[in-house]
Amino acid sequence: MKIIALQEGNYIADSKKEFKLITKETTETGLKMAIQPFVVITDNDVILLDFGLGFMNDGIPFIHEMLKKNNIAPEQITKVLVSHLHKDHIEGIGYFENGNFVCNFPNAKIYIQEREIDFALEQINNPSYVFEILNELKKLPNVELMHNDSGQITDEIFYEVSAGHTKYHQVFWIKADDEIVFYGADDLPQKIYWSMHVAYKTDFDGKRAMESRKKWEQQAKDENWKVLFYHDMKMPVLEFFEQKMEYVS
C-alpha cells in the first residue's frame, strides 16, 4: 500500500474552534495541531481518510490542491472514510455556490455513521461543527450511511465505532498486501497520546478513548501496524516492525 499525508499545515485552534495557520508572525495562543488527511492507495481503491479544512484558494478547494500536489486527481478518489464530523475533519467535503452545495468528491463513496450525523446536529451552538454542511450530508447521493458498531466495507477496509472523542466516532483499518494501516483519527490524533495515559475532558468519553489507545498500542506492536496521526505536527506515520522497532516516515 502507498500512504500519503496531505499536509495542510500547522494551525492554532482558539476557543471558538477557528483555525489559523501558524507562521513566523503568529502571536496567538491556543491548541497547536497539524491538519493532515491521508490517502491510502491499494490495488482496488484510492482511499481518502477525512476531508480536512474547507479553505478555498482562487475558487479551488484546498483538499483538491493538496491532492494535486501529490499527483492525485480528485476524480481518482474512490472512497472517503469519515471518522467524525468536527469541522477540521469534514469541511473539505464541499462548499456552497449560489446557495447550492457542491460536493468536492461527487464520484467517490463517502462512508459516515448516520448516528454521528444525528448526534452532531444536536450539538446546538457548538463551534466545533458547521451545521450548514451537516444538514447536507444525508442528501448527498454518494454518502453511504453506516449503522453498525463494527464491520467491513470491503475485503480490505474494516471499521469500529470507538465512541471516545465523539459519541459515534469511528476508526478504520485497511488491510492489504500483508500490511495493516490503522487510522485512529481524534481518538489517537498524535503519537504523544501513547505516552500520556490521560482521559481528556474535551472528549465525549475520555476514559473510553484512553483505554482504546492502550489496546491499540499493544495491537500495533503485535501486528506491525502502520499508524496514521491526523494532528501530529512532526510524525504523520509511525510504522512498527517485527523487531518491535519503530520507523518514522
Quick: pLDDT tens for 50-83: 999 999 999 999 999 999 999 999 999 999 999 9
Grid coordinates of 90: 469534514
55 is a domain residue? yes
Residue 71 neighbours by CB under 8 Å, 6+ apart: none
15 is a domain residue? yes
220 is a domain residue? yes
Residue 129 has a pLDDT of 96
We report the CATH number of the domain holding residue 58 as 3.60.15.10
166 is a domain residue? yes
Please state the φ and ψ torsions of residue 163, each to the nearest 5 degrees: 55, 40
Other beta carbons less than 10 A from residue 53's beta carbon: 20
Residue 245 has a pLDDT of 46
Residue 14 has a pLDDT of 83
208 is a domain residue? yes
Query: Distance of CA 46 to CAs 39, 154, 211, Å?
Result: 7, 13, 31
Cα-based torsion angle of the residue sequence 52, 114, 31, 103 in order, rounded to the nearest 10 degrees: 20
- The range of the structural domain enclosing residue 111 comes to 2-239
| Number of domains making up the chain | 1
Residue with cell 500519503: 4
244 is a domain residue? no
Residues of the chain below pLDDT 70: 243-249
86 is a domain residue? yes
Taken in order 135, 140, 144, 145, is the CA torsion positive or negative?
A: positive
229 is a domain residue? yes
